[in-house]
Structure formats: C-alpha cells, structure tokens
Amino acid sequence: MLSKAYRWLLPHPFLTLLLAVVWTLLQNDISAGMIVFGLILGIIIPLLTQLWWPDRPHGLNLGKFISYALLVMWDILVANVQVAWIVLTKPNSKLKPAWVVVPLELRQPEAITILAGTITLTPGTVSADLSSEGHSLLVHALDAEDPDAVRDEIKSRYEARLLEIFK
C-alpha cells in the first residue's frame, strides 16, 4: 500500500531529485523555501510527463552512478592533457586515426546515450554512429596504434560499469 502510494507520487525519484537540485542552483539561493519549491516542481513535472516516457529505466544504482561520474571526470582531465600533448607535439603524418567498432551489451537507450557521451568526452575518441539495430557503436579514435585495445578499454572501463548501474 505504502509502496504503491510512493510509486504514484514519485514515478521517477531520480528526476525529482535532479529537478529540485537544478531549480535550487538556478535560483542561486540555497534556502529552505527554494528547496521546498524545487521539490514541489520535482514532484509535479514527473507526474505530468510520465505518460510520454513509457520505458524509463527502473532501479538506477545511484551510488555506483556517482562513482562512475567521478571516474569519468578524472578521465576527462587526463584525456585533455593527452589530446593537448598530441595536438602540440605530434606531426599530422605520424597520427594514426582509426575507426573502432564497439559491440554493445547495453540495451537501454539511456545507458547507450551515457556510454556514447562518455566516449566523446574521454581519451581521443568520438562516438560517431550507432548501427541500424543498435547493436554496435562506431567510434573514431584520434591516435590509435591498436584499435582493438581501444575497444577493449571502452568495454571494460565504461560499459561494464554501466551494465552494473542499469540492472
């Protein structure tokens, strides 16, 4: 009974939290009033929009998601220095750009979107396209001696973690 009421009031608890945080930051005023108003918006908006979001992911592992976000931020910092170094020191003729095909185990569109975004933001790789049925991701690497190693790193470092987050 209680869990049913909770389901009805908060169809998407993560979105509620996100909306409340974004509202409070937008107001630039971390006070009780603003947090309450943000929570009210965070409850009303998911209720009004849940009709248009039928297959949203359930049971997001928030703790693992936060540690994943921290890992990605660290990788972005490292990637920036690496790419800056390549741009400044490597002559164009020595660059080895390559296409990398990453077969996907993830099935949810949200998870694939996060993986594609992560790939674009991290070491010398840009996700370019998805295959027609969504079973593989096409990635362009700026400087890859060994495209297979790039693929294995993406799979073990990011996809494995995302599989645990979106169970």
Among 105, 129, 146, 152, interactor with other proteins by CB under 8 A: 129
- Contact call for residues 138 and 99 (beta carbons, < 8 A): yes
| Alpha-carbon distances of 7 from 2, 12, 52, 85, rounded to whole Å | 9, 8, 17, 50
Q: Which of 35, 126, 153, 163 binds other proteins (CB under 8 A)?
A: 126
Minimum distance from residue 78 beta carbon to other proteins (Å): 10
Residues 131-150 binding other proteins (CB under 8 A) are: 131-136, 138, 140, 142
Asked whether 141 and 47 are in contact (CB, 8 A), the reply is no
- Which of 9, 67, 117, 156 contacts other proteins by CB under 8 A? 117
9 binds other proteins (CB under 8 A): no
Distance CA 95, CA 125 (A): 13
Looking at residues 56 to 115 of the shown chain, list those that interact with other proteins (rule: CB under 8 A).
76-77, 79-80, 83-84, 87-88, 92, 95, 97, 99, 101, 103
Angstrom distance (rounded) from CA 133 to CA 137: 10
Shortest distance in whole angstroms from residue 69 CB to other proteins? 10
Alpha carbons 97 and 61: distance in angstroms, whole number: 36
Which of 10, 34, 45, 128 binds other proteins (CB under 8 A)? It is: 128
Q: Which helix (H) or strand (E) holds 136?
A: strand 136-141
Say how far residue 67 (Cα) sits from the centre of its chain.
12
* Distance in Å, CB of 99 to other proteins, minimum: 4
User: Which of 79, 98, 110, 93 has the alpha carbon at shortest distance from 141?
Assistant: 98
Which residues of the shown chain bind other proteins in the complex (CB under 8 A)?
A: 22, 24-26, 28, 30, 76-77, 79-80, 83-84, 87-88, 92, 95, 97, 99, 101, 103, 116-117, 119-122, 124, 126-136, 138, 140, 142
